[in-house]
A and B are shown apart, each in its own frame.
Chain A
Amino acid sequence: MATKASRAAARMMIAPSVILLLAWMIVPLSLTIYFSFLRYNLITPTGNPFVGWENYYWFVTDPSFQAAMLNTLMLVGGVLLITVAGGIMFALLLDRPMFGQGIIRIMVIAPFFVMPTVSALVWKNMFMNPVNGMFGQIATSLGFQPIDFMGQIPLLSIILIVSWMWLPFATLILFTAMQSLDQEQLEAAEMDGAGSFSRFVFIVLPHLARAITVVILIQTIFHLSIFAEILVTTNGGPGTASTNLTYLIYVSSLLQFDVGLGSAGGVIAIILANIVAIFLMRMIGKNLDA
């Protein structure tokens, strides 16, 4: 039983976390919203007058915004497609009886622990470089024209790199979810004559549905913020071919020093992320028996 005294103590113990997180959320957030209504450039001092929705107008009507939104969508969608499909495949595969399962699982999961800048640079140079990269060397030795990944298909290249980094995450979570699948149910279905395909569609997939949703939501939130992988590979280019929303905001605010414009972009990014977050929060909330 919680007494009045322990309640008070509990409140004292929670207070530092709440105050810090509140400050971390409220202060920068309100500043972002405030800046987004000012004409505020760090190089050309303008006295920071209030300009209403002007920054939003310029940010949204800029052609690079539409490109960035489309790229963001394709980046998130592409990575999700590869990682969820691949993750289900790996989870099913690893769930089968085999020798040395522990070692194989470690090899599959390892890329998740590689820092983004290393993954991106290693793929860009050691594999995707048309002259010295491994793919280019193999293509040349077989008599094909090597692909200039970062020049010809920059966005797809980044999708592939990010997928390599996140396939382990999907695998790990779906594999964990597989562990709680009732084997007897599967066997019963098999005895009733269900083939392996219908067993997968009617038993395994519904069982994994929740985990798949969680994977999709969490990855979406992370992938909306992809930044380092773009910065070290293509710098958003050629042109805006691989610029996503996060990178566009970075360019506006830290490269063009346009605080107002960058902040307007920031507010848009926050709204976008929140739409996904609401669904994720609901899933997590259901599971929380506090």
Chain B
Amino acid sequence: MARAVSNRTRALNTAVAGTLGFLMFFPILWIFILSFKTEEDAIRAPLEVLFGSGWTLDSFFTVQERSDYFKHFANSVIISLGSTFVGLLIAIPAAWAMAFVPARHTKNVLMWMLSTKMLPPVGVLVPIYLIFRDYGLLDTRIGLVIVLTLMNLPIIIWMLYTYFKEIPGEILEAARMDGASLREEILHVLTPMAIPGMASTVLLNIILAWNEAFWTLNLTAANAAPLTAFIASYSSPEGLFYAKLSAASIMAIAPILIMGWFSQRQLVRGLTFGAVK
């Protein structure tokens, strides 16, 4: 039984949590505001920024004109969607098989797959870098798609596996009794039930790939640099750059913020490998 809670308690809770929540969100809100300022206004005192200066869209245009922003945006899209799609193609059959035709070693295989995720990327930085150099994969989108696919494959398999596990096996058996072939079983019975789980897997994986900042920084230069690497170029800027950095940042994080809000719940499952549900 939930107890009746007075509106005063409610209001007090709201005030405390709201204030702290606002503080957490404030840096994002602040760069959103700065992205609509001129460079000169962006470095003024906080109150002057808010109330004593005009608003402009110039920074967004400057960022695009000066550095071909949308090329990097496109790289991020291609790399994150590409690695997610390839990963899904490889992971779906594996997760399906392990969930519905479990064998003696299934658990071990799953745990082993997870263990590959525990390998610190810096431990294999040198060989991957040299292999990429020798095969001409440095600073290419295809190279990053390969690395990010392999890096996130264990997470995709695990998430799909836990979702598939929740589909009752009796339904599949019934379909089999009715003479459905393996192909039909997957296409017409399993897929419709698995779509919500696959959707959240896709969402989480795009978020992880979009924000990945080890391989993208070390394996790209100018051509294939996604937004993570492009934004990093602001670490040694020339002249005033707060408004430009804000504009570039806001455009870089907006798509993922929106996706993230939709996938809060699935995030927990995906990031803890089902250890917390």
Chain A interface residues toward B at CB < 8 A? 2, 6-7, 9-11, 13-14, 16-18, 20-21, 24-25, 27-29, 31-32, 35, 90, 93-94, 96-101, 103-119, 121-123, 125-127, 132, 134, 137-138, 141, 164, 167-169, 172-173, 176-177, 183-184, 187, 210-211, 214, 218, 221, 224-225, 227-228, 231-233, 245-246, 249-250, 253-254, 259, 262-263, 265-267, 269-270, 272-274, 276-277, 280-281, 283-285, 287-288, 290
Please measure, in the bound complex, the distance between the C-alpha atom of A14 and the C-alpha atom of B93, giving whole angstroms: 7
Contact A17 B245 (CB under 8 A): no
A112-B119 in contact given A107-B21, A250-B125 (Cβ < 8 Å): no
A109-B260 in contact given A13-B93, A132-B242 (Cβ < 8 Å): yes
Contact B118 A17 (CB under 8 A): no
Partner of B25 from A110, A141, A269, A283 at Cβ < 8 Å: A110
Please measure, in the bound complex, the distance between the C-alpha atom of A280 and the C-alpha atom of B276, giving whole angstroms: 12
Partner of A218 from B18, B214, B228, B271 at Cβ < 8 Å: B271
Please measure, in the bound complex, the distance between the C-alpha atom of A167 and the C-alpha atom of B129, giving whole angstroms: 32
Give, as a whole number of angstroms, the nearest-CB distance from A46 to chain B. Answer: 16
Please measure, in the bound complex, the distance between the C-alpha atom of A274 and the C-alpha atom of B217, giving whole angstroms: 24
Give, as a whole number of angstroms, the nearest-CB distance from B202 to chain A. Answer: 16
Contact A280 B126 (CB under 8 A): no
Cβ-closest chain B residue relative to A248 = B122
List the B side residues contacting A90 at CB < 8 Å: 20
A288-B235 in contact given A17-B90, A28-B128, A262-B126 (Cβ < 8 Å): no
Partner of B13 from A6, A97, A231, A253 at Cβ < 8 Å: A97
Known contacts A98-B10, A98-B14, A137-B46; 13 additional CB pairs below 8 A are: A10-B98, A14-B98, A16-B93, A111-B25, A115-B256, A121-B235, A121-B249, A123-B27, A141-B45, A187-B1, A227-B122, A253-B125, A290-B98
List the B side residues contacting A269 at CB < 8 Å: 120, 122-123
The 5 closest A-B CB pairs, nearest first, are: A13-B93, A31-B127, A277-B118, A28-B124, A10-B97
Contact B27 A100 (CB under 8 A): no
For residue B106, CB closer than 8 A to chain A, the reply is yes
List the A side residues contacting B120 at CB < 8 Å: 221, 224-225, 246, 269-270, 272-273
Please measure, in the bound complex, the distance between the C-alpha atom of A17 and the C-alpha atom of B89, giving whole angstroms: 10
List the B side residues contacting A276 at CB < 8 Å: 118
For residue B17, CB closer than 8 A to chain A, the reply is yes
Contact B122 A117 (CB under 8 A): no
For residue B159, CB closer than 8 A to chain A, the reply is no
For residue B61, CB closer than 8 A to chain A, the reply is no
Cβ-closest chain B residue relative to A280 = B118
A24-B150 in contact given A94-B17, A122-B31 (Cβ < 8 Å): yes
Contact B275 A93 (CB under 8 A): no
For residue B261, CB closer than 8 A to chain A, the reply is yes
A281-B213 in contact given A17-B153, A214-B275 (Cβ < 8 Å): no
A10-B103 in contact given A228-B232, A281-B114 (Cβ < 8 Å): yes
Contact B101 A6 (CB under 8 A): yes
Give, as a whole number of angstroms, the nearest-CB distance from B246 to chain A. Answer: 8
Please measure, in the bound complex, the distance between the C-alpha atom of A118 and the C-alpha atom of B271, giving whole angstroms: 21
List the B side residues contacting A249 at CB < 8 Å: 122, 125
List the B side residues contacting A123 at CB < 8 Å: 27
Contact A117 B213 (CB under 8 A): yes
Cβ-closest chain B residue relative to A246 = B122
List the B side residues contacting A118 at CB < 8 Å: 231, 249, 252-253
Contact B106 A290 (CB under 8 A): yes
Between B93, B123, B227, the greatest number of chain A beta carbons within 10 A of the residue's beta carbon is seen for B123
Partner of B228 from A106, A111, A117, A177 at Cβ < 8 Å: A117
Please measure, in the bound complex, the distance between the C-alpha atom of A123 and the C-alpha atom of B218, giving whole angstroms: 22
Contact A283 B275 (CB under 8 A): yes
List the A side residues contacting B277 at CB < 8 Å: 176
Listed A/B pairs (8) with beta-carbon separation below 8 Å: A13-B96, A31-B131, A105-B21, A108-B20, A115-B231, A119-B27, A168-B24, A176-B277
Give, as a whole number of angstroms, the nearest-CB distance from A126 to chain B. Answer: 6
Contact B31 A126 (CB under 8 A): yes
Cβ-closest chain B residue relative to A268 = B123
List the B side residues contacting A210 at CB < 8 Å: 275-276
List the B side residues contacting A108 at CB < 8 Å: 20-21, 24-25
List the B side residues contacting A24 at CB < 8 Å: 116, 150, 153
Chain A proximity mask over B228-251: 1 for CB below 8 Å, otherwise 0: 110110110000011001100100
For residue B221, CB closer than 8 A to chain A, the reply is no
Contact A32 B127 (CB under 8 A): yes
Contact B182 A6 (CB under 8 A): yes
List the A side residues contacting B213 at CB < 8 Å: 115-117, 227-228
